[in-house]
A and B are shown apart, each in its own frame.
Chain A
Amino acid sequence: GAGVSQSPSNKVTEKGKDVELRCDPISGHTALYWYRQSLGQGLEFLIYFQGNSAPDKSGLPSDRFSAERTGGSVSTLTIQRTQQEDSAVYLCASSLGGLAGDNEQFFGPGTRLTVL
């Protein structure tokens, strides 16, 4: 595709429910990143993938958060038992060369998650 796409664009859920957010990176980009941005705040790094592997998961806020990437392409971020503090915009980005080399990140439009 032309750019990074994310779905859904908006998600409203009830506290305690599980949600799954999807990211389709730019074709050929080996690295994929997930960030969270609360209202009026900067970006908070969550996790990145080099291929299908996530070398460092320490950025995930809690064990309710998990992410996977399959086929070196699509990634899903899953939040279990959502809490109100999980409400934020979740941004996905991809880059050609990962953290090394050509690491210009291309961002998707984000998924706005609202937990009631």
Chain B
Amino acid sequence: LAKTTQPISMDSYEGQEVNITCSHNNIATNDYITWYQQFPSQGPRFIIQGYKTKVTNEVASLFIPADRKSSTLSLPRVSLSDTAVYYCLVGDRNYGGSQGNLIFGKGTKLSVKP
């Protein structure tokens, strides 16, 4: 299983861009990188998933360097409502899968201030 490491917490202000980096030095060839967001008293919610280079959707961007040993979730112009815990997961999407998709860890607690 690829082990992930994230900062425990981050602070930001409204309107700023926030970048949360996740380290996964032991990522395997077939592993994808997935990020989830969890608000207080709610279950996590899928944000974005990628394999290499850059992925962008309406919520965030995911940057993955060529060696894939880390990834960065980028949240543009955060608002107070982006205050949440963000989890980085690494797991195999191919047949046979891997339980890396199930290792949420403690995540990064992002606090956005006015």
Proximity string of chain A (13-38) to chain B, C-beta cutoff 8 Å, 1 when within and 0 when not: 00000000000000000000101000
**Count of chain A to chain B residue pairs whose CB atoms are closer than 8 Å in the complex:** 64
Minimal beta-carbon separation of A115 from chain B (angstroms): 19
Q: Decide yes or no whether A103 CB sits under 8 A from chain B.
A: yes
Asked if A56 is an interface residue, CB under 8 A from chain B, the answer is yes
Residues of A within 8 A of B43 (CB): 4, 91, 93, 107-110
Q: Which of A58-110 contact B (CB under 8 A)?
A: 59, 91, 93, 98-101, 103-110
Whether the Cβ atoms of B105 and A101 lie closer than 8 Å is no
Total interface residues in chain B, CB < 8 Å: 27
Contact pick for B97, options A42, A100, A106, CB 8 Å: A100
A1 to B98, CA, bound (A): 28
**Complexed CA–CA distance, A35 and B91 (Å):** 17
Which residues of B approach A to under 8 Å, CB–CB? 34, 36, 41-46, 49, 85, 87, 91-99, 101-107
Chain A residues within CB distance 8 Å of chain B: 4, 33, 35, 41-43, 45, 48, 56, 59, 91, 93, 98-101, 103-110
Can you offer 6 A-B residue contacts whose CB atoms are under 8 A?
Answer: A33-B102, A56-B99, A59-B102, A103-B91, A107-B45, A109-B43
